[in-house]
Structure 1
Amino acid sequence: MILLKLSIAVLIACVGAGTSLSELNRVWFRPALLLRSLAAMYVLVPLVAFGLVLVMPIERGVKAALLTLAVSAGAPLLPKRLKRLHSRDYVFGLLILSSLVAIVAVPVWTALLSAYFDVELKLRIGTVVSDIGKTILLPVMLGMGLRFAFPAASERLSGRIMTIAWLVLAVCGLALLIVHRQHLAGLTWQGVLSLIALMVIALFIGQWLGGPDPDDRTALAIACAMRHVGVALVVAAEFVGQRTLVLVVAYFLTAFLVSSVYLSWRRRSAAIAPAA
């Protein structure tokens, strides 16, 4: 958990170090897109998870993972690839805004949905504020401070450090799944289908509400499907035992692969469209 959270903090600091303040400001002048983004991430995707729990006969461990993913809205940690979509300011603005909204939205959604998900979780606002501050907001501020003080070096080094942090995150996630593989072996097909359905439907929601710009639609689709890994680790850590954390990490590793394939497909489609 320490290495997972540390690698996420380093990744977010690198995002801050690679983004200027002017890029962050531009996103606030697009209120319609921001409202649609918040509705997609904080309302529609949680409602999809709620519907899956009502419809599918799934075990409590999967319900706990779905609750964690439902309330963990936020921007994805795919900034290097999303740069090519020319939606850098939008993604970074979502990262900051969703982290701030999570301070209130995560405890509220958790309190409303936990009874229906048949899991008990009392998440204190103080815990959410502290963990989001340490894992997300403080690293962003540190990265932007380094960008302001050393713009050339920050831009040059952030990509390299980000690659190392991603490697550490992937290794830690895989190690966690291997050590606790018994939690994956006991999954029913309904549980697996529910997690995959949440991912796929979330992609469609983001694609639908992303607006007329194809790059914005792609970015929001990935944000909806990936969820906020930092917030998810905060929530998953509150459950007793390892199963919720293992399922959440398995979801993120799968969502990363699916989102990468989706992003490549969207880029190829965008390249073919003008030629056609």
Structure 2
Amino acid sequence: MTARDWVILALQASIIVTVFGFGLRATMEDVMYVFKRPGLLLRSLLAMFVIMPIVAVALAKAFDFRYAVEAALVVLSISPVPPLLPRRHDKAGGKASYGLGLMVTMALLSMAIIPLEMKLLDLFYNKTFAMPPEAIAKIIFTAAVLPLLAGMLCNRFIPKIAARVARPAILAGEWLLPIAGVAIVVAAHRALGALLGDGTLIAIVVFVAIALAVGHWLGGPDPEEREVLALSTACRHPGIAIAIATANATGGEMNQVPAAIMLYLLVSIIATVPYVKWQAKRLKR
């Protein structure tokens, strides 16, 4: 394995540990939250898997980006909710059950949605993103479904141990993610430097702003649900996005694509801070 492979493995491990930590605190009521609200489920799907892929393709066609930037925006737009968001939802006053339920629901549905959307991209976009459906299902199942299920089973049968382990597991995942992210950026610093000079940052900020607006608008009348959908639409699963993008990258793109996706992750975290603070102040009032 190369150094890049080890770094990506560390990134995936951080996500798995984090999902397991949330599973240690999750209940079946949390998991079923979205399924019990079909209107909210449809609006969530519309925001994340219909509108944002259209926005990503429109930006890619409107501007002459490098392949790495185009690939990052497109694959992120079809990736599910990242497992780190529930803590950000809490800080902004979002509804915890919806945040956790949305993460689980979108992970499960992504096994069918992502292969379908990649076929649609072949029809309406001049770049091909191909990956076997079983490979996508394996990534999502390993990174999201399995660790969450393991955590929930621990919470069900050994609740005392689960309560003690949950916070350390989540913190461990939160520390591993930025370390892996920095390592990816350092390993591809030359490629990243080339990306910064052609409007990449502006494109990412515009994409995040549109995503926040779309999620906020479609979140419905409940401000706690609106906040969750806004952040979930803007922030996507980096591990799954990197897996899809690198499966279709060649040559120097193999380093550029993960760097572009991690750059998106960092910029999206910073760009959504004003929205999080705004929502927190609104809920306090």
Same fold (TM > 0.5): yes
- 1:133 matched to 2:141: yes
- Write the distance in 2 (CA, Å) between the matches of 1:150 and 1:76: 23
- Write the distance in 2 (CA, Å) between the matches of 1:254 and 1:116: 28
Q: What is aligned with 2:215?
A: 206
- 1:237 matched to 2:246: yes
Instruction: Determine helix, strand or coil for the equivalent of 1:26.
Output: coil
Instruction: Determine helix, strand or coil for the equivalent of 1:211.
Output: coil
Q: 1:92 aligns with which of 96, 100, 104?
A: 100
Instruction: Determine helix, strand or coil for the equivalent of 1:254.
Output: helix
Q: What is aligned with 1:267?
A: 280
CA offset digits 1:91-136 (Å, max 9, x no partner): 1111111111111111221222256554333211011011111111
* Contact 1:57/1:190 (8 A) holds in 2: no
Q: 2:60 aligns with which of 48, 53, 63?
A: 53
Moved more, 112-121 or 255-264: 112-121
* Contact 1:58/1:191 (8 A) holds in 2: yes
Q: What is aligned with 2:237?
A: 228
What 5-or-longer segments of structure 1 have no aligned partner?
none
* Contact 1:65/1:244 (8 A) holds in 2: yes
Moved more, 143-152 or 19-28: 19-28
1:265 to partner: Cα distance = 2.3
- Write the distance in 2 (CA, Å) between the matches of 1:122 and 1:203: 28
**TM-score, normalising length: structure 1:** 0.92
What 5-or-longer segments of structure 2 have no aligned partner?
1-7
1:75 to partner: Cα distance = 5.1
* Contact 1:67/1:110 (8 A) holds in 2: no
Q: What is aligned with 1:144?
A: 152
Question: What is the letter of the counterpart of residue 244 of structure 2?
Answer: V
CA offset digits 1:135-183 (Å, max 9, x no partner): 1111111111111112233234212221121111101101110121111
Q: 1:162 aligns with which of 137, 161, 170?
A: 170
Q: What is aligned with 1:22?
A: 29
- Write the distance in 1 (CA, Å) between the matches of 2:17 and 2:144: 9
Q: 1:163 to 1:209 in 2, by over 3 A?
A: same
Match runs of 1:71-110 below 5 Å = 71-74=78-81, 77-83=84-90, 85=93, 87-110=95-118
Q: 1:60 to 1:81 in 2, by over 3 A?
A: closer
Question: What is the letter of the counterpart of residue 44 of structure 2?
Answer: S
Instruction: Determine helix, strand or coil for the equivalent of 2:199.
Output: helix
- Write the distance in 1 (CA, Å) between the matches of 2:173 and 2:67: 32
- Write the distance in 1 (CA, Å) between the matches of 2:109 and 2:77: 14
Instruction: Determine helix, strand or coil for the equivalent of 1:120.
Output: coil
Q: 1:121 to 1:81 in 2, by over 3 A?
A: closer
Question: What is the letter of the counterpart of residue 124 of structure 1?
Answer: P
Q: CA RMSD in A?
A: 1.8
Q: 1:90 to 1:105 in 2, by over 3 A?
A: same
- Write the distance in 2 (CA, Å) between the matches of 1:95 and 1:42: 14
Q: What is aligned with 2:271?
A: 258
Instruction: Determine helix, strand or coil for the equivalent of 1:28.
Output: coil
Moved more, 5-14 or 80-89: 80-89
Q: What is aligned with 2:262?
A: 249
- Write the distance in 2 (CA, Å) between the matches of 1:86 and 1:192: 27
1:263 to partner: Cα distance = 1.5
* Contact 2:79/2:236 (8 A) holds in 1: yes
* Contact 1:72/1:231 (8 A) holds in 2: yes
Question: What is the letter of the counterpart of residue 40 of structure 1?
Answer: A
Question: What is the letter of the counterpart of residue 130 of structure 2?
Answer: K
Q: 1:75 to 1:249 in 2, by over 3 A?
A: closer
Instruction: Determine helix, strand or coil for the equivalent of 1:29.
Output: coil
Moved more, 218-227 or 232-241: 232-241
Q: 1:259 to 1:159 in 2, by over 3 A?
A: farther
- 1:111 matched to 2:119: yes
